[in-house]
Structure 1
């Protein structure tokens, strides 16, 4: 007996995660309170809309979910708004599609990752080249500009030390499963408000992990400095019973980060993936 989720259910869980992340004030990132880095919130809303179908299409492989979603994004908004997020969400959605009754999402996710193929790697490599993310150069090993000879999991494992999204593949999404989902649940319990809880989740990722998107563009020292700035903000945030009182301080920091061209994109991607995982746990 299987516990099959429909494409409509998965598309809704995905869109809800995307929209919740956009509604939360995430300093340095694009959100409902401020655009930034040459992108608008409308770009992200449109990206969520056009990718909800391909990323949840029945019968697609993980690689197809990523590639056709990146292609749809490029056609709709003309730039990369969501590559990292798609790389994280595709295996989660694929897992939910293949979940058996009574089986834990996390156990099946491990199976999904181990079953990734060379074809998945080739499609993801094409998607990365098409998206052309900031900081993408060439690599001595498993360069995305060349046809992969290894599975997507092996490709991600080889990049895990310099990219936190690749690290998720190599480590069964532990940042999402063990850290993010629990932190988000705690924040929801404390404030009973999705937007406030999402800001707390984003600050948690900023504080606990060097953002590898920032690291690629600005170097490790800037990434570490960002962690330190985030720690001070996060401490005040959790101390308040009304995060709305933190809004002005968060917006000042947001303006400062954007003036320095610091965009913690990996932390935002991990935030969306955690929201999606939390949504999927509720419906599976």
Structure 2
């Protein structure tokens, strides 16, 4: 933990930083294919994301109750379920489900005096989840529609679209929330794009921390830094939501187009991708004017890299905790 982070821990509420991360993420422009402050999608508007950020706060506050109660803090799954319900109630739709899946454990780690906001700290939070957390996670799917792939072979009873009806299967198998997400993080089909958000839970949030460094070492308005980080993340790895809605090859081609916009044809875009293949200088040199044409093309083609936006939001939270500011 850096000195800057240590100082901010004493003066800044992690819930405030999480809320600000949600707001700055949607304000970053352009984020090709996603809602931003200059463009809406047919079924999603910029204002809905602002409402979702406000509505999610009560769940984020639960996540921040690390060790503050005699019986232990509320479960991560309970905090996530409340955040999603509040988001859906205020936004009227699914705006930030994936963002919240990443933010809840991040807030828990940041608020816990016994943990650090690091890969090891996040791994400890995720490994501490329970079957009750998994059940709450499944119930959250009853509040909103979420684009998901079919479950792996032999796991139909664990289809998240069953919502709370999957509770007997979860308890019978003894599946914790981390166990559930591990199924999506490492799909049996090697040609399938892994769920990047689930992979963060299993792999110590390394994409989040990598992109946070891009943001911290960049210059200019924070929303512009977020937009450049978005391009870096999309260029590095095929987006899960694009793969789910448009197919694996479209997801890979989307990453290739983002890499070309960054001015780099050498970035690896293999099926699994590699965020370490993108260096900070490449991200910092992104031409946001050039990215505008890619944004218009993706919107016209119905390509929506929503998982990349989730990771950008998580990276913004870490960057804010480590000293990034919205003021110059």
What range describes the TM-score normalised by the shorter chain of this pair? 0.7 to 0.9
Give the counterpart of 2:147 among 134, 158, 162: 134
CA distance in 1, matches of 2:125, 2:105: 7
CA distance in 2, matches of 1:133, 1:166: 14
- Structure 1 residues 239 and 223, CA, compared in 2 at 3 Å: closer, same or farther? closer
Show CA shifts across 1:243-268 (max 9, x none). Answer: 7x743x32322121111111000000
Q: Which runs of 5+ in 2 are unaligned?
A: 1-5, 66-72, 187-193, 265-280
What is the aligned residue count? 274
Q: Which runs of 5+ in 1 are unaligned?
A: none
Residue 242 (structure 2) aligns with: 214
Q: How does 1:1-284 map to 2 (within 5 A)?
A: 9-25=13-29, 26-57=31-62, 58=65, 59-100=73-114, 104-106=116-118, 107-135=120-148, 137=150, 140-141=154-155, 142-144=158-160, 145=162, 146-147=166-167, 148-149=170-171, 150-161=175-186, 162-177=194-209, 179-186=210-217, 188=218, 191-235=219-263, 246-247=288-289, 249-282=290-323
Aligned-CA RMSD value? 2.7
Higher helix share: 1
Alpha carbons 1:180, 1:201 under 8 Å: kept: yes
Post-superposition offset of 1:7: 11
Instruction: Say which structure, 1 or 2, has more relative contact order (CA 8 Å, 6+ apart).
Output: 1
Alpha carbons 1:21, 1:271 under 8 Å: kept: yes
Secondary structure of residue in 2 paired with 1:235: coil
- Structure 1 residues 254 and 114, CA, compared in 2 at 3 Å: closer, same or farther? same
Show CA shifts across 1:181-227 (max 9, x none). Answer: 222223x2xx3321221111000110001100000001110001001
- Structure 1 residues 215 and 7, CA, compared in 2 at 3 Å: closer, same or farther? farther
Post-superposition offset of 1:11: 2.1
Residue 190 (structure 2) aligns with: none
CA distance in 2, matches of 1:202, 1:125: 28
Output the TM-score relative to the length of structure 2.
0.76
CA distance in 2, matches of 1:137, 1:111: 28
Secondary structure of residue in 2 paired with 1:56: helix
Secondary structure of residue in 2 paired with 1:132: coil
CA distance in 2, matches of 1:270, 1:19: 14
Structure 1 segments, 4+ long, off by >6 Å, are: 238-243
CA distance in 2, matches of 1:153, 1:54: 19
- Structure 1 residues 184 and 198, CA, compared in 2 at 3 Å: closer, same or farther? same
Secondary structure of residue in 2 paired with 1:32: coil
Output the TM-score relative to the length of structure 1.
0.87
